[in-house]
Amino acid sequence: MATARVGDIEVWYEEHGSGTPLLMIMGLATDSTAWAFQLPDFAKRYRAIAFDNRGVGRTSKPAGPYSIHQMADDAKGLLDALGIRRAHVLGVSMGGMIAQELALRYPESVSALVLACTYPEPDATVESRRSFMVGQLGGQVRTDGEISIDVASLNPLSFVQQMLPTVFNPEFIQTDLPKLMQVFAGAMQHGFSMEAILGQVSAVMGHRATDRLHRIAVPTLVLTGDADRLVDPSNSDVLAREIPGAKLVKIPGGSHGFNFETPEVFNAAVLDFLATVPAT
């Protein structure tokens, strides 16, 4: 566990295992704690690297807004700092957007790609859900697309409560709340900046990659749960259709957070795919 200077920020990361590097990029408002149920399995076969994106956990939290381009540059900077020329890249949700952009901006740095529970650009459902959630938190989305909200009055727990029903299946929330709170424990423990989280929201809403996906030329797995309430699984159809040769896997009953909810299913899908990728 260490930090690396990447551009204008300090990036916190941890490494486990050895072999081919596997860079793991987490989603919005969540730090690397959420990889807790992947790291042990992945480290048995790979040099598994998890890190906190800008704005969460132990990484710097500069004022936003952020962009997915910027966050892809952060990921590339971390690879450079670690002396890694080429890596498999796994991204979940916002992390999947960052992974797309990393593969597009720095194709020489990516040997395989796993895009889980993510989209190539926001659709009308995503826009509507954002407006609803911002309204529930006492703010509004302006006509220019920016969020108007009193950050100082926001309670981080209220934000988490708004997110939970869209990320996890209801049964999991009812029966596994202690396990569930691990997702947000690190972010809360190391400082939860609502301003930074809104910076991440700006990044995901500004992500646009559909018309460039055909340029991705590495083996790609598109992975989603068919019960994802946050990012409609149809977005994975688009990713798989537009990325040449991409493999699409939909997990029956899988929620947006099924890497945490059913890690054995998520891990097997990722590892089975990566086992087919030639070593570089």
pLDDT digits 0-9 by tens, 56-91: 999 999 988 899 999 999 999 999 999 999 999 999
Rounded to whole angstroms, the Cα distance separating 86 from 186 reads 28
Instruction: Decide which of 1.10.10.350, 1.10.3720.10, 3.40.50.1820, 3.30.9.10 is the CATH code for 2-274.
Output: 3.40.50.1820
Q: What is the mean pLDDT of residues 244-255?
A: 97
CA distance 86 to 109: 4
Query: Tell me, what's the pLDDT at 60?
Result: 96
3-class DSSP assignment, residue 254: coil
Short-list 57, 56, 49, CA closest to 83: 49
* pLDDT, tens digit (0-9, with 9 covering 90-100), for 114-163: 999 999 998 877 766 665 565 555 565 666 666 666 566 566 666 777 77
| Cβ(62)–Cβ(94) below 8 Å | no
Q: What is the pLDDT of residues 194-235, one digit of tens each?
A: 888 888 988 998 899 999 999 999 999 999 999 998 899 999
Max distance between CA atoms of the chain, in angstroms, equals 51
Give the rounded distance of the alpha carbon of 266 from its chain centre: 14
Please state the length of the chain. 280
Q: How many beta carbons lie within 10 A of that of residue 211, not counting itself?
A: 10
State the average pLDDT for the chain. Answer: 89
In DSSP terms, which residues pair with 91 in a beta bridge?
Answer: 25, 115
